[in-house]
Structures are given as C-alpha cells and as structure tokens.
Amino acid sequence: MPHRHASIEIGLNAVIVSVAGGMPQIVHVEEPEKDMADSLPFGPFDPLHHRTFEIGLRAWVENQTALRLGYIEQLYTFGDRGRHRVSGDEGPHVVSVGYLALTRQTPDSEETLSRHHSAWRSWYDYFPWEDWRAGRPDLLDTDMLPALKSWAEEPPAEGEPPRALARSERVRLAFGTGGTDWDEERALERFELLYEAGLVAEAKRDGRPAALKRDEIPPFGISMEFDHRRVLATAISRLRGKLKYRPVIFELMPSAFTLTDLQNSVEAISGRHLHKQNFRRLVENADLVEPTGATSTATGGRPAALFRFKHQLLSERPAPGLRVGGR
C-alpha cells in the first residue's frame, strides 16, 4: 500500500478585542452568501515574508482591519484532525495558532472591516451566561444548569476516557454551584463542558450525543464556524486572568480617561459589576494611574478628572494588575 503524506497548512486565528459602548467587542467574519456561521479572522502564515508568527499576524490584521494591535499573546495551537470539517476529511490538515490581540477601534476600521465581510460584535452574543454585570443570568437556572444536571446523572458513554472528577463535580467547579463561587476565569471550562454534554450547536454539528432531545436545547449563544467559539472562550479566560496581574486593560483605553471609563472597561471584560467606591480604592491602592490635570464633560454632568496610565510601573513592579473578581 503506498505511503500517504499528510498535507498541513498553518494559519493564524486572531481574537481581536476592544471595548466600546460598554461592551467587550471582537472582530468577527460573516459571509452569509456562503451560508457560514460567524468566524474569527484568519490569515495564512507566510514564512517567505514573515520571520515570526506575530509579525505575520500584525501584517495581515492591519491590512484587513485598519487596526494597529497593541498587546498580543499566543493562546494555543489548535490542531485536532477534522477541526475544519473538510469533506471526507482528506483535505489539508489545518493547524491554527490562536492569538489574543488588544486594540482600540478607529474611525476608519468599520469601513475596512466591511470590505472583508467583518464587523465588531459583543463577545456576550456568543457567551450570554458569562455576563453577570446586571446580576446572575436567568438562563443558567432556567435551562443550562438543569440540562447539565441531566447529563451529569447519566452513566459515562462507552469509550469515554476516565476522568479524575465526576461530571457533577466538574459542573460544580466550573459553574459555581453547590456553594462554590462563580469564577469568571473558567469561561473555557464552561464552554467545553457544554460541548461535551452536547448542549451547544457546535456539538450537534460535530455529531456528539446530547443530554436532552435536540428540540429541547435552547440556543446557548450564537455558534461559530469550526472550533472558533472554543478559541474565543480561551481568549476570554486568558484575558480575565491577565487583568489581575498585568496592566493589559490600559491597552483598551485611550491615552486619557476617567475612572468611570476605566471601571466600565474592567467590568466589560470581567463580566462583573464592581462597587464604585471599592473600585476606586482598588485603583488608588494599585497606584496604576495619575491625573493629567484635565477634565472631561463628555457625560454632560460635572466635569470628571482625566487620568493616564503610569507607564514607568512596567519597569518598577513585576505584577501591576487590578485584582478584581472571585479569586
């Protein structure tokens, strides 16, 4: 039998994050004429023109979006066979290196994005259960947790690999049930449990068995092509954790901002409502910002003091972050 050589393509997926209108927004690609779900921006790695993955990423993102990326971090290499669901699974094997990239929206980015079938969209459209700013999301208790409970009570499927923790224990830790606190950093764990239980559209598309009859499963967020919602969940978990020990939030802020603007941005990313006075005390104790001496009247009320990030902290302190959240 002749030996078959696998063909491999390397691509770069970018979770490009900004905060606008009080929402954490990502660039998504939508091509309805091809009957495709939303996807993350994707560009090929060209080793003839780009010395590193990051250089390649910055080049095609700027070309396709008119955005200049600030902080960039490699997330993970996503390479499971069949992840792009090629017909017959005989096409090139696509290995994608996922990146988290932070930026600020620009006036000309919308027009450039539209030319590439792209636009900004809140990441809570894909993960509505992750937004706790107005309180505990209703769908957790009305639909999601009952469905997960049914799944947890089922015997493991034949061939399912053994795990150190039972299904019910994994649900408890990921979703903060049974007296456990909700941990905003577990966004990826929550999505992977929903996928494993067959409770998201991606699982149905991939042929996984479901915890409930298909017509009983509510649409838990907007689905995405391939494994892109998993890539996005990875980015959300990473960024939420990063807030606590690196000043990445300031990559999403203008050069001058009010403390209310800063609080709104931190809340948008973390998915948590923060008490105003507690947040200001946190910022003051962290000594991350300094007043510019100017004020803003953008809200129409009393002038608000404008602040800027103290860049010298990057060389003075190993972990200058804002420790908000459940840890």
Predicted pLDDT of residue 159: 74
Distance of CA 258 to the CA centre of its chain: 25
Could you report the per-residue pLDDT of 198-220, keeping only the tens digit for each? 999 888 888 777 666 656 667 79
pLDDT at position 216 is 64
> Per the structure block, which two tokens stand in for 94?
């696509």
Report the C-alpha gap between 174 and 193 in whole angstroms: 8
pLDDT in tens, 25-52: 999 998 777 778 999 998 888 888 888 9
User: Higher confidence at residue 123 or residue 201?
Assistant: 123
- The span from the CA of 208 to the CA of 188, in Å, is 18
Whether residue 222 contacts residue 125, with contact meaning beta carbons closer than 8 Å, is answered with yes
What would the two tokens of residue 57 be?
């990423």
State both tokens at 298. 């953008």
Write down the number of H helices and E strands in the chain. Answer: 11, 8
Give the side-chain half-sphere CA count within 13 A for 13: 28
Average pLDDT over residues 232-238: 97
- pLDDT the model gives residue 86: 44
Does this model's pTM top 0.85? My answer is yes
Compute the CA torsion angle 267, 270, 274, 277 (nearest 10 deg): -80
Q: Which residue has the tokens 């769908």?
A: 139
Amino acid (1-letter code) at residue 49: H
